Each structure stands twice: as structure tokens, then as C-alpha cells.
């Protein structure tokens, strides 16, 4: 004998109704009263990864931990593709939340902008593909961002590692094309908010020669930017400075990738009469994955990181900020990337976090 279908449906509906009422109310999370970062080392920063963090309490907790560590700076990614619609409207909900919580914790925000929405690029191109037909759209997004977060975001970075073909839509890298983008973005951002710092880069450390399908040597790329007239269109340069297996004080050289490669980048700026601009190290760090060939032991990682901060503070007056990659991921990456972090996805502080916290309070 078959039970009438409507009865089963009614039962299911009733059950769903009961469950709806039984479900606890969503957690109310507010930014809370304004906090101040207490630190002896204002150069210290960290690159958070809150872009894909959905739960507000986790965003708040991450930023609380950054403040408690004694880092006054965060670098955070605000992808154009996530927030911008083709009709010119923006979904600011998530970036509003991140910026509000960062401001409440007393943190200065450096915003990395990038990733092209599907509507702004040709079919079958990757998210990192951005050509000149959409430069004005990206500039409009950057300007809207700069206007909206006036006084709460200190700087915007135009793109990410444009000297790698992977980050340039799997095309040959082109300093001249990047400078054309930079000009549009700089002009639009300054028109919207003259106080917003516009950072070029961030250049990826790489030794790839001219014509390589993978990218272009960062020093050559930077010179190419100056040759294309970049100097008037950025306020500071964002740089990635990974130590890999070398200690931070290891001598730099044109054929070596190490922490002090920053000095070679700086020299290119000096050679192009651009010495007045600051460098922002928006990613740095050592990795302690047990298997990655470019990793070091966990104790070395801690020591190298602390020594790198001290080195930058002592020797590099032109460096405004040193941001450790990466503070925490919303979920395990299950790769060597997990071994760059300071805090686990479950908010367990790693010993390197404690070491940095101690360092931040020491004179």
C-alpha cells in the first residue's frame, strides 16, 4: 500500500520548519572598540589570507592575533573578479567586513588588487589575464576601492608578480604593458583619493632571462618599467623577498635569489633617480616543510625570520614594511604552503608566532 505523497511532503515540511526554529541564531560579531598595536618594531607586518574566509568571527580573530603579535601592518588581497559586476556595480560586503575589523584592531592595510572578472577578459583566458581593453575597468575598480576605504587602507598594489607569465595571464611578460596599466590605475586612484599610496609590483624574485616562457628577471623587469616611463606613476615599490635556503645576511648577487636581493632592486631605483621612494616587502619568509627542497628546519626558519627583520630595520631605511607570508590560511593547503604560516587554520599559534610576538615587544 502506497502512502499518499502529500503526507510525506507535509512531514518533511514540518521537520524542516522545526529544524529552522531549533537552529541557533547566527553569531553576532562586531568590530568592537578601537584597539592599538603595541610594538617596538613598526616595520613588522604579515600577509593575511582573508579573501576566502567566510566566517566573520574568524576574520576578527585573525586580525586580533595579528595585533596581539605586535604587527601594525597587514597585506590583504581584494580580487576585482570577486566584487565587480559588468554593470559597474560592486559587492563590497566582504571587503567592508575585512577593512572594518582591521581598522578596529588598529592595523594599517596594504591592499593587493587583481584578478580579472570573466566579463573583462576574452573567453578561455585565466583569471590573471588582463589586457589593455580592460585597463580602464580595472582602474575604475581601483579608484572606487581607494575612494571607499579612504583613511582605512594605506596603499594599493597594482596586480601581483607581473614579471611572471603565470601572473600575466600565461602571456610573455611585458614591462611596457604593465606600465600602461600602472598609468591608468595611478591616475584614476589619485583622482579618487590623492592620499592613497599606489605601489607597483609586487615583483617576484626570479632569474628568468629575456625570452623565457616563465617570466623575466625582476631586476631587468624593473629597469624595463623605468624605460617605459613608470617613475611618475607609483609612490612605492612592492617586492617579494624570499630567503629560500639562505640565511638573511647572505650576500646578494645578480645570479642568486635570497633575502638581500632587495638591495639589488633598490640599486635599480637609485640608478633611475628614484631613490626617494619606499620599498614595501609585501611577502617574505622561510619555509619549514619537511620535504620541500627549498625549505629549512623549523628552528632555522624562526631564527632567519627574526634576523631578517633586524637586518631590514638596521640596514634598509628605505624599507617601510616587512610582511611575513602568510599569517594563516582558512583551510589547510595540504602542500608546502602550510609551512609558511604563523597560525594554523584552527588558530593554534605556531612557535614562530610566539617568537615574533616576543621580538615585537623587545627594544
Partner 1 sequence: MRRCKNMLRKNRKTGRLKIADWRVSSLLFLLLLTGLAACNGRESAWPRIQQEGVLRVGLDPTYPPFEVDTGGELSGLDVDLAQAMGADLGLDVAFSYFGYDGLYDALATEQVDVLLSALVIDPARREDFAYSEPYFNAGQILIVRQGETAVTSMTDLANRTLAVELGAQSHVEALEWSRKLAGLTVQPYTTPEEALTAVLQGEADAALVDGINGRLFLRDNPGLTYTANPVTVEPYALVVRIEDSELLDHLNDSLARLQSSGELDAIIAKWLGE
In the bound complex, what is the minimum distance in angstroms from residue 305's beta carbon to partner 1? 10
232 or 290, CB closer to partner 1? Answer: 290
CB of 302 to partner 1, least distance (A): 5
Phi then psi dihedrals of residue 187, to 5 deg: -60, -45
The three cell numbers locating residue 185: 590605475
Nearer to partner 1, 9 or 122 (CB): 9
Interface region with partner 1, contact rule CB under 8 A, candidates 8-16, 147-155, 250-258, 265-273? 8-16
Query: Of 48-56, 101-109, 153-161, 330-338, which segment contacts partner 1 by CB under 8 A?
Result: 330-338
Q: DSSP labels for 70-130?
A: T--EEEEEEEHHHHB-TTS-B--HHHHHHHHHHHHTT-EEEEEEE---GGGS-TT--TT--
75-103 burial, b if ≥16 CB within 10 A, otherwise e? bbbbbbbebbeeeeebeeebbebbbbbbb
Bridge partners, 79 (sequence order): 114
Is position 5 an interface residue for partner 1 (rule: CB under 8 A)?
yes
Show Cβ contacts of residue 263 under 8 Å, excluding neighbours closer than 6 positions. 252, 316
- Adjacent-strand bridge partners of 158: 113
Contacts with partner 1 in 283-312 (CB under 8 A)?
288, 290-293, 297-299, 301-302
Q: Which of 19, 22, 25, 348 binds partner 1 (CB under 8 A)?
A: 348
Question: With binding defined as CB under 8 A, does residue 3 bind partner 1?
Answer: yes
- Contact between 215 and 170 under an 8 Å Cβ cutoff? The reply is no
Which lies closer to partner 1 via its Cβ, residue 245 or residue 344?
344
Establish if 30 lies at the interface with partner 1 (CB under 8 A).
no
Residue 16 interacting with partner 1 (CB under 8 A): no
Q: Which of 87, 334, 362, 363 binds partner 1 (CB under 8 A)?
A: 334
Interatomic CA distance for residues 168 and 185, integer angstroms: 16
Where along the sequence are the contacts to partner 1 (CB under 8 A)? Answer: 2-5, 7-9, 12, 288, 290-293, 297-299, 301-302, 332, 334-336, 344, 348, 350-352
Amino acid at each position: 500500500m502506497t502512502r499518499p505523497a502529500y503526507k510525506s511532503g507535509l512531514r518533511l515540511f514540518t521537520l524542516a520548519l522545526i529544524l529552522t526554529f531549533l537552529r541557533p541564531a547566527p553569531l553576532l560579531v562586531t568590530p568592537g572598540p578601537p584597539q592599538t598595536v603595541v610594538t617596538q618594531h613598526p616595520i613588522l607586518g604579515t600577509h593575511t589570507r582573508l579573501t576566502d574566509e567566510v566566517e566573520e568571527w574568524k576574520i576578527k580573530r585573525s586580525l586580533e592575533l595579528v595585533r596581539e603579535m605586535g604587527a601594525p601592518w597587514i597585506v590583504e588581497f581584494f580580487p576585482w573578479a570577486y566584487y565587480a559586476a559588468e554593470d559597474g556595480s560592486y559587492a563590497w560586503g566582504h571587503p567592508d567586513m575585512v577593512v572594518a575589523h582591521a581598522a578596529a584592531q588598529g592595523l594599517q592595510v596594504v591592499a593587493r588588487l587583481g584578478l580579472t572578472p570573466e566579463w573583462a577578459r576574452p573567453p578561455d583566458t585565466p583569471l590573471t589575464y588582463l589586457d589593455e581593453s580592460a585597463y580602464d575597468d580595472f582602474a575604475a575598480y581601483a579608484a572606487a576601492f581607494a575612494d571607499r576605504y579612504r583613511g582605512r587602507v594605506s596603499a594599493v598594489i597594482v596586480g601581483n608578480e607581473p614579471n611572471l607569465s603565470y601572473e600575466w595571464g600565461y602571456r610573455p611578460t611585458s614591462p611596457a604593458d604593465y606600465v600602461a596599466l600602472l598609468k591608468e590605475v595611478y591616475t584614476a586612484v589619485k583622482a579618487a583619493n590623492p592620499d592613497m599610496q599606489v605601489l607597483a609590483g609586487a615583483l617576484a624574485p626570479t632569474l628568468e632571462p629575456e625570452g623565457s616562457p616563465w617570466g623575466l628577471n625582476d631586476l631587468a623587469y624593473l629597469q624595463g618599467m623605468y624605460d617605459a616611463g613608470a617613475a611618475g606613476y607609483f609612490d612605492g615599490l612592492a617586492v617579494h623577498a624570499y630567503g629560500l635556503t639562505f640565511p638573511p645576511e647572505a650576500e646578494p648577487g645578480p645570479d642568486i635569489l635570497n633575502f638581500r636581493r632587495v638591495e639589488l632592486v633598490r640599486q635599480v631605483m637609485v640608478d633611475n633617480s628614484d631613490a626617494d621612494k619606499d620599498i614595501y616587502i609585501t611577502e617574505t619568509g622561510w619555509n619549514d616543510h619537511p620535504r620541500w627542497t627549498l625549505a629549512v628546519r623549523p628552528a632555522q626558519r624562526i631564527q632567519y625570520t627574526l634576523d631578517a627583520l633586524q637586518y631590514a630595520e638596521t640596514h634598509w631605511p628605505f624599507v617601510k614594511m616587512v610582511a611575513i607570508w602568510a599569517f594563516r590560511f582558512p583551510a589547510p593547503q595540504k602542500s608546502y604552503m602550510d609551512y609558511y604560516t604563523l597560525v594554523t587554520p584552527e588558530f593554534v599559534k605556531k612557535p614562530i608566532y610566539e617568537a615574533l610576538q616576543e621580538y615585537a615587544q623587545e627594544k
